[in-house]
């Protein structure tokens, strides 16, 4: 029984065409926006424009027209930015005041070991009473 050699039966993608590469039949390459397939073994350096060796299978299309610019997106009002800056400044000042208060309370606790700590905490505004023990590093029942 005889043998029938049919050769390569599908395209082998090789990427971007290079003048320094030797291609064989059915190799496919990309060059200047178009795709070519080798009709037969291609000598090194043979350009894709040589129709003896290359078959164009995908042609580059023309550029479409540019669309119009879209609408401008929502803008943050300047007033909102100013308010955010003021709020950030106020929070910063409050944090500084809390740090000073922490130091003062810590000094008072050290100076007056006889006074019940519970009374000292009650002199602080209600909003801070919850955080003071943690700020001072104390465990208060």
Q: CATH number, domain at 24?
A: 2.10.10
Could you give the CA distance from residue 5 to residue 77 in angstroms, rounded to a whole number?
75
For residue 49, tell me if it sits in a domain: yes
In a domain, 32, yes or no: yes
3-state secondary structure of 128: helix
Return the pLDDT at 3.
79
Q: Domain range for residue 117?
A: 78-136
Do residues 82 and 132 share a domain? yes
pLDDT means per 10 residues in the chain (141 residues)? 77 95 95 95 96 95 88 77 81 83 71 50 52 55 51
**Residue in 38, 35, 36 with CA at minimum distance from that of residue 24:** 38
Asked whether residue 69 is assigned to any structural domain, the reply reads no
pLDDT at residue 43, rounded to an integer: 96
| Residue 109 phi, psi (nearest 5) | -65, -40
* Same domain as 98, residue 126: yes
Q: Does 129 reside within a domain?
A: yes
Q: Is position 72 within any domain? A: no
Residue 94 inside a domain? The answer is yes
> Are residue 48 and residue 85 in the same domain, yes or no?
no
- Strands (DSSP E) found in 39-114: 54-58
**20 and 52, same structural domain?**
yes
Does the residue 7 lie in any domain?
Answer: no
pLDDT at 112: 53
According to the model, what pLDDT value does residue 121 have? 46
**Number of domains the chain is built from:** 2
> What is the pTM for the complete model shown?
0.44
| Domain shared by 41 and 82, yes or no | no
Residue 2 is assigned to a structural domain of this protein: no
Q: What CA–CA distances, in Å, run from 21 to 36, 39, 120, 121, 130?
A: 14, 16, 86, 83, 76
Q: Which residues, including other chains, have CB under 8 Å from residue 118's CB and lie 6 or more apart?
A: 140
């Amino acid at each position: 029984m005889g043998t029938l050699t049919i050769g390569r039966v599908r395209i082998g993608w090789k990427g971007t065409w290079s003048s320094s590469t030797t291609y064989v039949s059915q190799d496919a390459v990309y060059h200047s926006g178009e795709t070519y397939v080798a009709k037969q073994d291609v000598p090194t350096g043979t350009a894709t424009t040589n129709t003896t060796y290359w078959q164009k299978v995908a042609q580059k299309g023309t550029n479409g027209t540019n669309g119009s610019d879209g609408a401008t997106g929502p803008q943050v009002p300047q007033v909102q930015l100013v308010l955010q800056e003021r709020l950030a400044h106020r929070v910063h000042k409050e944090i500084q005041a809390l740090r000073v208060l922490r130091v003062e309370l810590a000094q008072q606790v050290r100076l007056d070991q006889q006074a019940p700590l519970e009374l000292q905490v009650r002199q602080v505004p209600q909003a801070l009473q919850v955080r003071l023990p943690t700020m001072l590093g104390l465990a208060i029942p």
